[in-house]
Amino acid sequence: MIKTFRIVVFLLTVFYFLEQFRGLDPEFFGWQFRYLTIWTLTANMIVAGQMLRLSYGKTTQRWEAFVSFVVVMNMTVVIQYWRLYLMDPLNVSPAEGTIWWKEYYLHALGPVLMWIDAFLILGVFSRLKPVFYAAILLGIAYPAWAELVLHPLNDEPIGTVTAGLPYPFLNNMELGGRMMFYVASTLANFVFIMIAWGVSKLIRPIRV
């Protein structure tokens, strides 16, 4: 049962990861990796592959700290995406719209499947310090990628203030406002870590 679940999860992540390469516009520097959502999808695929190897007895490495951090990445993607989308779909989506079955996997089903394995099967958050360190690293790495690499090398999306930042709403903000958003997002990740840690204490995982 668990092995079958992990096979399905892995195949789904591989499919959606490869799907991101279809129809890419080569004029955009960074391709799909402009988006934190795809960073998270990539991490989900790596985790799914390792969990499948664990089920087949090909490894004994449970990668608990890394999986714990990926749990938080998924929380960030889901909460931030839907918060911004419900405020205005154009905050995170192009004017021509999105493909619904991709969006619901990337921002709902994919994260839920990852959480099921992490909380109910593997067991996570026995060590918090490396997860906090990883959250700080992400809070520096993604804004640096967006501001120092993507921003000067892309001309779209175009906003009311600037252009080239991956998510449309960022281009409607002054630099100071964007820095405040990045800091607030990192602090929110700390809250998500504690929430996820609390959830892990309420669940007795199978630990396989």
Q: How far apart are CA 163 and CA 158, in angstroms?
A: 4
Q: Which amino acid is at 4?
A: T
Position 90 in a domain: yes
Residue 158 pairs with which residues in a beta bridge? Answer: 163
Position 207 in a domain: no
pLDDT at 95 over 70: no
Range of the domain at 173: 2-202
Q: Which residue has the tokens 């892990």?
A: 200
Q: How far apart are CA 113 and CA 70, in angstroms?
A: 12
Position 168 in a domain: yes
List, for residues 33-76, the tens digit of each pLDDT value: 999 999 999 999 999 999 999 999 998 999 999 999 999 999 99
Determine what percent of the chain falls in helix, strand and coil, rounding each to the nearest 5. 70, 0, 25
pLDDT for res 96: 67
No. of helices (H) and no. of strands (E), the chain: 8, 0
Position 62 in a domain: yes
pLDDT for res 191: 96
Banded model confidence at residue 22, pLDDT cuts 50, 70, 90 = confident
Q: Dig out the tokens for 4 from the structure.
A: 């079958």
Position 53 in a domain: yes
Q: How far apart are CA 124 and CA 118, in angstroms?
A: 6
pLDDT at 204 over 90: no
Q: How far apart are CA 59 and CA 128, in angstroms?
A: 23
Position 144 in a domain: yes
29: which DSSP letter?
A: T
Q: What are phi and psi of 19, to 5 degrees?
A: -65, -30
In the chain, the number of structural domains is 1
Position 33 in a domain: yes
Position 208 in a domain: no
Q: Which amino acid is at 190?
A: F
**Rg (alpha carbons) of the chain, rounded to whole number:** 17
